[in-house]
Structure 1
Amino acid sequence: MDGNWLSIIPFLLVIPIAMMTKQVLPGILIGLIAGAYLTNPAPIGGIETMLQYLVTALVDKNNIKIIVFLYVFSGLVGMIKVAGGIKGFVEAASERVDTKKEAILLTYVSTIGTFSAPSFRFVTIGPIMRALLKRVDMTKKELGFVIETTTTPIIVLIPIATAFVGYMVSVVELGLHNQNLKGDPYSLFIQSIPFNFFAIAIFLVGIYLSFFHHSSDGAQQKPNENGSEEDDWHNCDPAVSLDLPSKPWNLLLPLIVVIGLTLILTWWDGHQKGFGFFKAFIKANVLDAMVIALLITTFLTIFFFLFQKFELKMLIESFVFGGNNLMSVILLLSVIWGLASVTEDLGFSTFITDHTGWIPSILVPPILFLFGSAVSYFIGSAWGTWGILMPLGISMAAISGVSLPLVIGAVFASGTFGAFASPLSDDVNTLSRILGLQVMEYARFKLKAALIAVAISAACYTGITFIL
């Protein structure tokens, strides 16, 4: 079926269905089912084929490692919550905040200890900062904007110890595999980081608006005027509830250990292969290093918490609860892997090669970015956008001769825009709930800044092709 136009049908179904349902999974699942029936049109054959693609994806060695990483990382965060690590960190960090600039600075500095995942950061800094609004001249919308510009746009630029790394590397690996291209997916991810222009632009725009621009937003929106700070804390998230201990080192030590071990094991794997110090980090099997470092950190953290007299049953339950929070992501990953495989078997890569060569190479990165930004805005998912567009982006890069890291960065940037700006985004909805904001009103508040960053990014993607 090389070059078969039928290979694009699954993708043509994915995006409009995701937009109509406002959910990524239904669109991707229907795309997988359609592709399976195109491969095997028998009444039951399509379902059997779909199951085969899913099973094949789930038994892949690297895919299993990614699933283990995501589940264990989320489980570790669950244990840190009940051990009072989050509550202790936010309490210690907020003791001397009295002004708006100090509150903003605390929000930026807190990224150091809370960069592992958006939800982790929201429940860590969101409740305490909401409570502190009683003491500083700042609206909840302004606070939400500062928190979000220092969350996903920062996390996507950090190459270790985040819940994003494994997934981002996996979609790059998937695109390379579909095109039969050689290359280390983690190295390409590292090289693409400077080309995630939207993440960089919105962070810089955020700094300008936070520190050098006077907001003209309407009346100050305070938390419940009759409520207490303790009520805000207790009602926003159990991570800072009143009955938890306050132990900041229960957050900081696990993070220090997992980051340190990841770096050491990454270097050691490359060193064992005979490479020098710096090249060892590039040539190492980073996925293995990340998983092993995370597992060791989890075991050490359990012993550390048991030493503090936390109950083993409580730690296990919090680990399972935390891990289960990412089961929807793991399900999404499995369907995306299956969709990529079935479209490749239908001849997607060859079709793209035969029909997109007319696009000038200078326009490939900006077109991918702008198209991906539109998709991510309407479906509200960075991960869904990356899963949908990365195979397409790498295919277009291969046939146009455009730098792979540049195109990969453009795809990652497009998803980052949706996570930040879309009213359907999990980030936007979660933070709005924590801060007590109306979702659509809050999304409109920050859309202008997001579009400014989009314009800057599109210009950069167009201009950079003259250099690379």
Structure 2
Amino acid sequence: MEASWLSILPFLVVIPIAIYTKQVLPGLIVGLLVGSYIISPTILGGIQTMLVYVVQALIDENNIKIIVFLYSFAGLIGMIKVSGGIKGFVETAANKITTKKQALIVTYISTIGTFSAPTFRFVTIAPIMKALLKKVKMSTKELGFVIETTATPVIVLIPVATAFVGYMVSVIQISTRNAGIDTDPYSLFIQSIPFNFFAFVIILLGIYLSFFHPSHTDAPTEIDEDVDEEDDWHECHPAVSKDLPNKPWNLVIPVCLVIGLTLFLTWWDGNEEGYTLTEAFIRANVLQAMVVALLITVFVSMALFLLQKFKLNDLITSFIDGGNELMSVIVLLSVVWGLSSVTDDLGFSGFVTAYTDWIPDLLITPLLFVFGAAISYFIGSAWGTWGILMPLGISLALSADVSLPLIVGAVFASGSFGALASPLSDDTNTIAKILDLSVMDYARFKLKPALIAAGITTVLYTGFSFFL
């Protein structure tokens, strides 16, 4: 279809509805419906067209692999929880840490083994820190902020074995394909990582607040002195409940296995094609390697848990319950795929190319980041922001000849801002619940450092636009 202003209508619908409802899915669904009715303007035509776009997205081979990866990954974490892996890790660490410095160092080092997903990270490290809050001598809000800077901002920079990487590669893939760009989406994701400036800035800010900010040494704690420390953290999340066994290896072995297998199978796939060591990792089918590594890990972990006399029915139930926790994300992803295809057929890329040449090239990237950060703050969803903005970012990059890795990095950075700063984000609500904080008070506390980091990030995007 020839490019016209109608191609932007779905996005003009998505953003205000998402902000008004404080949920991204209703906006995406209405946007997809609007686009479908523009293509098939009859009573049943729009609904039928919408169904066609969603079904086409779901039967795509790579998209199916992403869905399998997300569901299986969440299912694996469900089994680790019920087998006492997380509880055992927290119990062991809490008993061995005795000083503030040790606690903070463990917070950062533990990222190596718990970077797979923000919630996974929170339920493994936040209860430890909560149990040691008197020793750490930080306010609970400061502690929560430091923990959060080691979650989503770190995870978005890791290219393998995370719940994020499949989704991030997917939104790049659909956006570049619709824009007519012949590029490997995973390679573009790798190239964009150094340009996710917000993630780097907020991580450095978290390190500064952890080790060098003087107020930490005398900040009052917010744990009641009369409350038993064991109760403080055993009741903060079901994954560390007293009823679960203490089996830290049930966390360590699956995590090490999935990371090791992903790296090995990625190298193996590239090596089979005759590439050198470095080229093998870049040119391999990483999505395929991640899915296969994860499935092997699921089977091996289930066998390990069965040898420990866990009931098969309990393991299967925990796997399904864990996977079902990500069904809302899978639905979100399906609608994002459909919406991207609809707007492509409406000529969205051509419209952006034709009508955005008045924006100075140097301002496109910083303005996109600021715009995306505002959206992500009001909807509280990094993934939703990426799904909405990536098609726009790719189209703007083509129309203005802006560096693709730079613009992709800016889109991912904008979503990272909302995940950290928004009172609506899952990260904010999860950490507040674990640490017994008021969500709004905690969100207000985080907003100032998040805005400082966003300001620095905007300056960096402006500066790099001169050279790329």
Shorter-chain TM range is over 0.9
Q: Which residue of 2 aligns with 1:189?
A: 189
Aligned equivalents of 1:430, 1:136: Cα separation in 2: 21
Instruction: State the SS of the aligned residue for 2:214.
Output: coil
Aligned equivalents of 1:429, 1:56: Cα separation in 2: 34
Q: Which residue of 1 aligns with 2:370?
A: 370
Assess if the C-alpha contact under 8 Å between 1:94 and 1:106 holds in 2.
no
Give the 5 Å matches for 1:436-451.
436-451=436-451
Assess if the C-alpha contact under 8 Å between 1:230 and 1:242 holds in 2.
no
Assess if the C-alpha contact under 8 Å between 1:223 and 1:436 holds in 2.
no
Q: 1:218, CA displacement in angstroms?
A: 10
Q: Which residue of 2 aligns with 1:398?
A: 398
The gaps in structure 1 that reach 5 residues or longer are none
Instruction: State the SS of the aligned residue for 2:136.
Output: coil
Q: Which residue of 2 aligns with 1:341?
A: 341
Aligned equivalents of 2:36, 2:181: Cα separation in 1: 25
Aligned equivalents of 1:178, 1:396: Cα separation in 2: 13
Which deviates further from its counterpart, 341-350 or 92-101?
92-101
Assess if the C-alpha contact under 8 Å between 1:14 and 1:28 holds in 2.
yes
- Residue type at the aligned position of 1:241: S
Q: Which residue of 2 aligns with 1:205?
A: 205
Aligned equivalents of 2:381, 2:86: Cα separation in 1: 26
Matched, 1:62 2:80: no
Q: 1:127, CA displacement in angstroms?
A: 2.0
Per-residue CA shift, 1:78-113, capped at 9, x if unaligned?
A: 101111111111222222333333322221122122
- Residue type at the aligned position of 1:283: R
Aligned equivalents of 1:326, 1:217: Cα separation in 2: 39
- Residue type at the aligned position of 1:168: M
Matched, 1:215 2:197: no
Instruction: State the SS of the aligned residue for 2:12.
Output: helix
Instruction: State the SS of the aligned residue for 2:245.
Output: coil
Structure 2 CA distance for partners of 1:216 and 1:295, relative to 1, 3 Å: closer
Aligned equivalents of 1:55, 1:467: Cα separation in 2: 42
* Percent of pairs with identical residues: 67
Q: 1:135, CA displacement in angstroms?
A: 3.4
Q: 1:224, CA displacement in angstroms?
A: 4.1
Q: 1:248, CA displacement in angstroms?
A: 1.4
Give the 5 Å matches for 1:139-178.
139-178=139-178
Aligned equivalents of 1:215, 1:424: Cα separation in 2: 28
Aligned equivalents of 2:447, 2:218: Cα separation in 1: 16
The gaps in structure 2 that reach 5 residues or longer are none
Assess if the C-alpha contact under 8 Å between 2:79 and 2:319 holds in 1.
yes
What TM-score comes out, normalization by structure 1 length?
Answer: 0.97
Matched, 1:294 2:285: no
Per-residue CA shift, 1:184-230, capped at 9, x if unaligned?
A: 11111111111000000000011111111123899734234433223
Structure 2 CA distance for partners of 1:183 and 1:215, relative to 1, 3 Å: same
Equivalenced residue count is 468
Matched, 1:256 2:256: yes
- Residue type at the aligned position of 1:266: T
Matched, 1:81 2:81: yes
Which deviates further from its counterpart, 439-448 or 226-235?
226-235
Instruction: State the SS of the aligned residue for 1:134.
Output: helix
Matched, 1:311 2:311: yes
Give the 5 Å matches for 1:218-237.
220-237=220-237
Per-residue CA shift, 1:385-404, capped at 9, x if unaligned?
A: 00000011011111211111
Aligned equivalents of 1:90, 1:218: Cα separation in 2: 26
Q: 1:128, CA displacement in angstroms?
A: 2.5
Assess if the C-alpha contact under 8 Å between 2:137 and 2:221 holds in 1.
no
Q: 1:245, CA displacement in angstroms?
A: 1.4
What TM-score comes out, normalization by structure 2 length?
Answer: 0.97
